[in-house]
Chain A
Amino acid sequence: GENVEQHPSTLSVQEGDSAVIKCTYSDSASNYFPWYKQELGKRPQLIIDIRSNVGEKKDQRIAVTLNKTAKHFSLHITETQPEDSAVYFCAVSFSRGGADGLTFGKGTHLIIQP
């Protein structure tokens, strides 16, 4: 089955700096790559996603890049703010036709230092 590796497990950055989280996957047939933010005690919330026919997508301070050849994708957060502190999960959808379940990375605890 699909294997998703996420790094780093913890990331501490100064407020205003950028944060980058990277994920690699194993199944070259995967075609959907979302990122979720989970605050303590809350459900995961989709913050950005990308599909295999696109190399980069940006939404304000958040961007995702995808390298299908190398089978990795990254989340970029610029101008970090205290409210960005949370656990971030990458995920991959394995193609079995139609809408398929997600395989998640182990998560990155992002800490924004004031």
Chain B
Amino acid sequence: SAVISQKPSRDICQRGTSLTIQCQVDSQVTMMFWYRQQPGQSLTLIATANQGSEATYESGFVIDKFPISRPNLTFSTLTVSNMSPEDSSIYLCSVPWGAQYGYTFGSGTRLTVV
């Protein structure tokens, strides 16, 4: 399956600041997805990062808060903007792998906002 490198692995940030999370895949993929996992909760899809076009956001998530870049088929970034303690979560990127449509996840970024 695809190997995904995600960084940073964790960070503690001051409220009001922004953090950019990077996701690098070892092969070209059409779609990349960003998820949020709040403490003790399930995973929620934030957006789909499309190469060459704007990201597609799910209900409840907006571009101003979670801007996404997708400059090529192996890389994407998610920025968490103007952070508040409610943004404290694990953020994960994910890619579908091959015709089998299995999804592989990055190791996640554990964000704590203080």
Binding site for B on A (CB under 8 A): 1, 32, 34, 42-46, 49, 51, 89, 91, 93, 98-107
Contact = CB atoms under 8 A, between A and B. Distances in A.
Contacts, number: 53
Contacts of B104: 46
A31 B51 CA distance: 24
B33 interface: yes
B82 interface: no
B45 A103 contact: yes
Interface of B: 30-31, 33, 41-45, 48, 58-59, 92, 94, 96, 100-108
Contact of B48 (A51, A101, A103): A101
Contacts of A44: 43, 92, 105
A104 to B, nearest CB: 5
Contacts of B92: 43-44
B100 to A, nearest CB: 8
Given A1-B59, A104-B42, A34 B48 contact: no
Nearest to A1: B59
Contacts of A93: 101
Contact of B31 (A45, A91, A98): A98
